[in-house]
Amino acid sequence: MTQWIENNDDSDAVKFDNSIYKIMFNNISNDKNNLIMEINDVIEKLSRLKLNLNQFDSSRELVKSLLQPSGWQNLSYERLEKIRLNLRELMKYKGQKANSFVVLDVKDTGQVTKEISAGSVLYGDNMEPYERRVKLAIEDKLNDQIVVYKIRKGEKLSQDEMKSIYSIFGEDFVYSIDELSGKTDIDKEDIVGIIRKFVGVDEAELNKRFEEFIQKHHSKMNSTQIKTLEIIKNDIAKNRGISFAALFSEPYTKFNQNGVDGIFGKMADDVFELIKPFRASYIS
């Protein structure tokens, strides 16, 4: 089978060639996760094409068919090669934003389809592309960037700022609170926790808060408590928030069967207050 094109040409045509070749390879090798990832990457690219241009007169219907699950039911070499040859030179006619489209979701139980919004693409086990798209959509829609700034820093929002968050979830926004809640496993009532999951945490501010806490309480803390704070901080940075329930399970129960409460004793309330700005209410 044709190999990836290994040269300095990173044109849209060559990138599209390589994407199709990867789909061919993953289909033959039965690598389902990578196959899903590569197909949905191509779908996202196709969704950006300016189909109103005359250049698409002979290929417009082909592109439209590939934005539907039925367009990817036949992954034979011959069909994929036809797609590559027909569309490779048209990939340069793209816009900045994706349009709404439908993707193929292949699961262990068989083949099903799922209609989703622009950018809400299933990438197998890899959620990063989806998270990036949601982040950009939120930041683009939320006119008041101070709100994003405050969420990342763990600062409390005013009632007006909370209203501004809810206001972006209108009919013209491609994501719903229910969808983002389902993707993050965070309760839809915790809208700040959901948004933080996508816009992230200001790690400089996070480090500062924990350093100041340790400096303030250093004389009363032992090495296990300091190590636990480092684990908590890293957990918040990695997961962009933390649930209080997580503090009573591993790895914290390895230090004390009662988790953080047992590790810190009388200081536990102070630790919970430190963590509170980055708390997320996960769906139980």
Q: What is the pLDDT of residues 28-39, one digit of tens each?
A: 888 777 788 888
Read off the pLDDT of each residue in 202-226 and give the average, rounded to a whole number.
94
- Among 116, 138, 153, which residue terminates a domain? 116
Contact present, 186 and 281 (Cβ < 8 Å): yes
192, part of any domain: yes
User: 16 and 110 share a domain?
Assistant: yes
Ramachandran region, residue 11 (left: φ > 0; alpha: ψ -120 to 50; beta: rest): beta
Please, what is the average pLDDT of the chain? 82
Contact present, 124 and 135 (Cβ < 8 Å): no
- Residue 9, pLDDT > 80, answer no
Number of DSSP helices (H) and strands (E) in the chain, helices first: 13, 2
Domain count for the chain, please give it: 3
Instruction: Please give the Cα distance from 21 to 16 (Å, whole number).
Output: 9
- Among 54, 85, 116, which residue terminates a domain? 116
User: 108 and 132 share a domain?
Assistant: no
CA atoms within a 13 Å half-sphere pointing along the CA-CB vector of 183: 25
Helix or strand run (H / E) with residue 110: strand 110-116
Long-range pairs of 169-178 with CB within 8 A, sequence gap ≥ 24: 173/137, 173/141, 174/100, 174/117, 174/118, 174/119, 174/120, 174/137, 175/117, 175/120, 175/134, 175/137
The pLDDT of residue 98 is 55
- Per-residue pLDDT of 141-166, as tens digits, reads 876 678 999 999 999 999 999 998 89
Among 19, 21, 113, 55, smallest CA distance to 63 is for 55
89, part of any domain: yes
107, part of any domain: yes
Contact present, 274 and 225 (Cβ < 8 Å): no
Q: Domain span at residue 53?
A: 12-116
- Among 73, 96, 116, which residue terminates a domain? 116
Among 126, 133, 162, smallest CA distance to 146 is for 162
4, part of any domain: no
> Residue 10: pLDDT band by 50, 70, 90 thresholds?
low
- Per-residue pLDDT of 47-105, as tens digits, reads 888 888 889 889 999 998 888 777 888 888 889 999 999 999 999 988 765 555 545 44
The pLDDT of residue 41 is 84
Distance of CA 70 to the CA centre of its chain: 26
